[in-house]
Structure 1
Amino acid sequence: MSDFAENCKTIGLPWPHLNDGLTYRDVVSPSDTDVTLIKFYSSKHENSAPLQGWLQRIQNGQISVDGGVVTDPNAIIRAGSELVYHRLPWKEPDAPYLLEVLYEDDDLITINKPSGLQVLPGGLFQQRTVLTQLQWRTSKQGSSIARQEPHPVPVHRLGRGTSGILLCAKTKSAKIRLASYFADGTSVVGDNRKAELGTMRKISKIYRALVIGILDEDEVFIRQPIGMMRYPGVAKGLYVASPSGKPALSKVNVLQRDVQKNHTLVQVEIQSGRPHQIRIHLSFVGHPLLGDPLYVTGGQPKCIDSEILDGSFAQDGGYQRPTNPVPGDCGYHLHAHQLVLNHPTKNEVIKITAPLPSVLRTQEEAK
């Protein structure tokens, strides 16, 4: 096994003040023919903006029909027409941009993602993401960096507030192979004959986390399924502990207990890779991550009754940010510490380690 740790190489370019905006395309279906432009957008994309917000966008000249700008909200649209909504550039919230490279070859690159940086575009973060930095770097290097056409992309996700190892492919073939490793691990969780952590897997991930309360047992297996619920401000729904959800398995080992502060430092190995799995599982067993603004005991959100603000809308016509916590909020302590995988093209197993934040080190490691 080849072992790789921090090598002090960093990549990343500063973010521009404004991003490039976004373009959304729709083709009118026969069932939507002869409806007005405002009815189409306010009904088809009501999660993006309220009615008044879509009126603002149309009157601003941000909507085109078959290549021509239309500012009349009552204009009739026809089947087959292409509608384009141009979202104006905006200043995204602050986010880190420098990335430590932990390991790199022609097929893959692993980085030490800082807390506060989103992996893929979503919500307010469309440019300030890991994906953007990888694409910028590849465009500067040219296509000679790999045997194939470059295709830089993360093959799994870490929450915006989670730090540590993020595995990224550099070619399409590497992405397919690496993505299959994650899919294989998740697929066996529901099979008790196969769902033994550390057994016959091509990839394993170990995390560090700091949780509220004192875990009595030194080792805990959590098999709580994870599903979705409707939640204000999260258009696709929020992942939570749910009996009807998909199988998920986490193995938790206690590293250090701090009775005085009522905290426990734990190591978590996950077989499956459900979104927010560690945050949900630890909160489900009564030990939410210290500083987690969203999940509380039971694996449920802290706030479930909040509504989007009063129908008012933001400068771009979209909804105001909800007052309740959302998954991308930071503050919790979770770090992807170690990754072991079968290399997608080389006949070897590699182990990658990301240095620990001070708050997640044991007393011995801190010396």
Structure 2
Amino acid sequence: MQPDASALRHGGALDAAIARHGGRRADWLDLSTGINPVPSELPEFPPEAFSRLPEASLERAALDAARRAYGAPADAGIVAAPGSQALISLLPFLLPPAEDAIVEPTYAEHRRAFAAAGHAVAGIERPDAIADTVKVAVVVNPNNPDGRVFSRADLFDLHERMAARGGLLVVDEAFMDVTPDMSLASEAGRGGLLIHRSFGKFFGLAGLRLGFALTTPDLAGRLSERLGPWAVSGPALVCAEALLGNVETIQITRQRIRRQAEMLFDAVLDRRAPLVGRTALFATIRCERAGALSNALCRRRILTRPFAERSDWLRIGNPAGPDEAARLRAALGEALDEIGDGG
């Protein structure tokens, strides 16, 4: 039995898993996404956050908090959107169709978006393999799903090459919050550079739908204009100001995610299914029958993330605590026994 098509495109398709494998939502452990499983405490919302259109002052406060939290210069351009996915989908339509390159395998929506906007997209394995004719280069750092990390020095070199020919380097830092020293956000505002940041993954509030782009003021303005007025809800802006503006909350969240990551690593460490790579929010393992392993885990009411393009990879998100980690460890051992040696 092959994994459900919805599971092969994105994580989080719990309804489809329940329809196929049964059980109630309460029975399932959803480890299919790279999202912090312990959401941050929500701030108090003033009633007008829901009853009024968002005021410009509220958006400015949220953007200022994001700029400071990410370490971006005060004069860098920044735009908020209903999820970083919205920015990923929109950006290619603001750029002239050209020859582009994406370091792959990676988050597939970058390729889909550029192709939909008429760009010629090439997949490459390393940033230094980008041809001189490329006008837009996309690097996800840390990379999803293999956990590769690209150094600031290498990305600076690539940016200089791209900027020298009037090109654009796009760096998707959706999984960067736990390792801020690796971020390029401090260089935001330079010509030829755009950085995506995700709010929901780190704070465990993906349903809020909030993301940011850090770039030049001109490109940020063009993105904002295309998004239109009131693109981000009042409650999302309140959360951004409150959580991104709270240094203690950010530090506590980083520590919590690091503990989760270590529990996950201990749970998935198995010679029959070796590690492909990891970030602070997920680990990807290799198994020749990854689809069968995913289904075997589903029968134990644990949802993971298989891949259509890499049938030997399975990505597993962080457990919330020791009990979930122990459940995953036991289920993974049983599932590998069920399908064979997993190698």
Normalised by the shorter chain, which TM-score bucket?
under 0.3
Higher-helix-fraction structure:
2
Higher-strand-fraction structure:
1
Bigger relative CO (Cα 8 Å, ≥ 6 apart): 2
The structure with the largest alpha-carbon Rg is 1
What's the TM-score once normalised by structure 2's chain length?
A: 0.25
